[in-house]
Structure 1
């Protein structure tokens, strides 16, 4: 246990803000470094793409018509209820307003160094040396901390596929990171690549306005949505030419525009080798409990879990990190933590899956929350959150156009009710 620890939080998005809130509650000294002048990270919509007014990359991936793909009980931050009048699946605008209100309510901005970008983090003499730069003046500073919490997320560096002949294509190509609104695709022939959450959501957004929507993906997910007649499902791309795309099944489509919804890479250029992490575009290892840097356990990576109620998971991780920093519990030995990590990695390898699956919670989500509580003593995330996510997933499989037409009401820690909004403006009981 470190007495009077100094904590560095990198990023003022959800992970940074929740960590700040819980550390503040415990009277722990910390500072948050944020490269922009805003809180909220990727939740803040910006119509621009590329770089901001200070020449820094725009990290937000919000698009104009985005609504959350999980209902609002799973989007709530602990200690700050979502507004009653917020719709069940809020727009980015409504949810971003909620994040701003959270920061104001708990007076978190006084701890944030806005327009200060972290440029390096290194391990020296049992401490973390953090170098950061004033974005406006370019003046550089250096400070020393006992703990580092990294909350910059993993949705800002696009993963771009390498497809033969792409340089010949005369139409436009963007990644979903730079997708903002559908109107530019009106009456055009658009190719969407990828069928993850953003791929399915953007496909539907663009389909409302485009002439033809060609969707290339190899997902084995059994979507039962009935798409419009101008939606054409295709397998992976074989190659581009000047005016279109040939697919691996030999078929061809004329295309005007391409949107790659192919995900993001893990990217932390400010971390050097002394941090003890193996960072690749697809994974960060080795992490205990999906977050603690096993080789240097005073560093924690926040919010790297996949297939989970991410807001709930980030809040639980922030409370776990706070309990650890405060000294409420002690981590296992390095050997024991490595054993836990190796056990998870072995299961993934045995299934022939890529190591990137090491970040997946999926069906293990509720067990994860129970484990965090058992080890750290933090209040347990109620099992009802996992149950709501499961139900929401089933509803997405059934119909991507209608799954947001339901309201989820938590009854207690185990149970919820799902209601459908009728045209008569009344709610009807659907199931629980």
Structure 2
């Protein structure tokens, strides 16, 4: 005691001693001041454990006290807050609590893994569905107000209402380029009345119905933009920002599933003297409607699926359609008379294009259908991936980060039934997270990946081919099933895609007229959409 007052500091005591010491302090305070003519009044600063236990014992002794707490909450550092920095009142956050803190000496994370899914497109939604089925704790972070990713059409180009680049590359007249059996999400049949190759809006409604049916919306944090994913110790630290409120959150997860896709950052070619050209140049990412090209001389560059589809779409309106590409695919389509096939571009001038064969065409507008770059700016170097414009390496089974196998990148397969492949990957990821199987060792996974990379390089091909499935698609599904124990994707899916590819080569104008119906895991029928029975009334193996 000093000058008739008692000074005690209890916040440095071990937790197990706080209640004993504070009880003793209450007794001393009561007895030490017994001769005072007035009742003592005590100020307690802070409503954490020290403040609460002090309050309890002072109250027991009938001593007058007040607790002053700067926040809206009790518990001090024991209250978890996902935000960092300052609170809603501009004060520094007091708590140092983190998501997986445990009072146990050893925490068993395997029983309750926490999963972060980035993106609420098809990859994010299917992953959510399977994790939810298994009772696994997960959160979906979506930067927009919507689900569906690139399947949602937006007439705008550039940036959205929040200043973020528009993710979708959907255009008005798009129809799927694969038939509906290969577009079906497992456990949620496509409507029988759905067109064989549905338009984007019909398929987008199907995706929304899927999310509603499996009650996935409540797991999605909309308008949360992921800014950083780092590997720290044995956890993933994911930082994200609420786009409207500006609040920044940092949370810890055991697994990360990246489902943002790779069809949003345009791959722009570098062509000599492009800046001299006085016409318009866009990428297919910003292509929306064809009628703006009415009576124009239009150049389309590239002959991938989008390049061929957009070329035919624009050709219905343009005065001429010049198509520059170096594809060796033998398309047997009879193109319209104003369709002009050209080789690669050598250079631009003010009014047109000179091609590598020396020919020249006057051009008003250019549409680059030159693909997209792999772009994951939020992934820190600690993730252990090598990411460039055209590849993400090294990945086991086209999806598992070999250097940090608790991270999975979804949908990085080319020339495949993409929806079927993503659904299989989501089931594989869920089985891994649940602990249904164990991955091969890092050395084994790396050896297998290196073998594939060496084959590609031996053929003089770029490493970007590491993402191609093509004729290996059905084998991929078999390997995934053998390793993880998930149900195998039926071989009929690859067979349908193979026949559909032949139909595209035959005629790009008519391949969508066919209806494919699955008979069993290995057979299907095909007929023209106007027919009521399969062509030749027979099943195709």
Asked if 2 retains the 8 angstrom alpha-carbon contact of 1:421 and 1:427, the reply is: no
Q: Is 2:179 the counterpart of 1:77? A: no
Partner of 1:299: 407
Which deviations, in whole Å up to 9, do the C-alpha atoms of 1:308-363 show, x marking residues without a partner? 00000000000000000000000000000001101111110111110000000000
Q: Secondary structure of the equivalent of 1:264?
A: coil
Partner of 1:276: 384
Select 2:510's aligned residue among 402, 409, 412. Answer: 402
Partner of 2:436: 328
Q: Secondary structure of the equivalent of 2:322?
A: strand
Q: Secondary structure of the equivalent of 1:131?
A: strand
Q: Distance in 2 between matches of 1:387 and 1:180?
A: 32
- Could you say which structure has the greater relative contact order, defined with CA pairs below 8 angstroms and 6 or more residues apart? 1
Q: Is 2:124 the counterpart of 1:23? A: no
- The 5 A counterparts of 1:19-418 are 19-418=127-526
Q: Secondary structure of the equivalent of 2:505?
A: helix
Q: Secondary structure of the equivalent of 1:386?
A: helix
Q: Distance in 1 between matches of 2:480 and 2:173?
A: 35
Q: Secondary structure of the equivalent of 1:77?
A: coil
Q: Distance in 1 between matches of 2:133 and 2:495?
A: 29
Q: Secondary structure of the equivalent of 2:111?
A: coil
1:70, CA displacement in angstroms?
A: 0.3
1:139, CA displacement in angstroms?
A: 1.1
Which deviations, in whole Å up to 9, do the C-alpha atoms of 1:70-127 show, x marking residues without a partner? 0000000000000001000000000000000000000000000000010000000110
1:429, CA displacement in angstroms?
A: 1.5
Q: Distance in 2 between matches of 1:294 and 1:377?
A: 20
Partner of 2:56: none
Greater strand proportion: 1
Q: Distance in 2 between matches of 1:113 and 1:421?
A: 41
Q: Distance in 2 between matches of 1:299 and 1:253?
A: 49
Q: Distance in 2 between matches of 1:426 and 1:110?
A: 42
TM-score (norm 2): 0.79
1:138, CA displacement in angstroms?
A: 1.4
Q: Distance in 2 between matches of 1:233 and 1:90?
A: 29
Partner of 1:14: 122
Unaligned runs of 5+ in 1: none
Q: Distance in 2 between matches of 1:229 and 1:427?
A: 35
Asked if 2 retains the 8 angstrom alpha-carbon contact of 1:131 and 1:140, the reply is: yes
Q: Distance in 2 between matches of 1:125 and 1:225?
A: 56
Unaligned runs of 5+ in 2: 1-108
Equivalenced residue count is 430
Q: Distance in 2 between matches of 1:138 and 1:361?
A: 41
Q: Distance in 2 between matches of 1:187 and 1:9?
A: 46
Give runs of ≥4 in structure 1 deviating > 3 Å. 425-428
1:302, CA displacement in angstroms?
A: 0.5
Q: Secondary structure of the equivalent of 1:323?
A: helix
Q: Secondary structure of the equivalent of 2:535?
A: strand
1:426, CA displacement in angstroms?
A: 4.2
Q: Secondary structure of the equivalent of 1:214?
A: strand
Asked if 1 retains the 8 angstrom alpha-carbon contact of 2:525 and 2:534, the reply is: no
Q: Distance in 1 between matches of 2:266 and 2:235?
A: 32
Which deviations, in whole Å up to 9, do the C-alpha atoms of 1:220-240 show, x marking residues without a partner? 111111100000000000000
Which deviations, in whole Å up to 9, do the C-alpha atoms of 1:251-274 show, x marking residues without a partner? 000000000000000000000100
Q: Distance in 2 between matches of 1:207 and 1:173?
A: 17
Q: Distance in 2 between matches of 1:427 and 1:234?
A: 41
Q: Secondary structure of the equivalent of 1:158?
A: coil
Which deviations, in whole Å up to 9, do the C-alpha atoms of 1:138-175 show, x marking residues without a partner? 11110000000000000000000001111011111000
Q: CA RMSD in A?
A: 0.9
Question: Between Structure 1 and Structure 2, whose CA radius of gyration is higher?
Answer: 2
1:428, CA displacement in angstroms?
A: 5.2
TM-score (norm 1): 0.99
1:421, CA displacement in angstroms?
A: 2.7
Asked if 1 retains the 8 angstrom alpha-carbon contact of 2:148 and 2:204, the reply is: yes
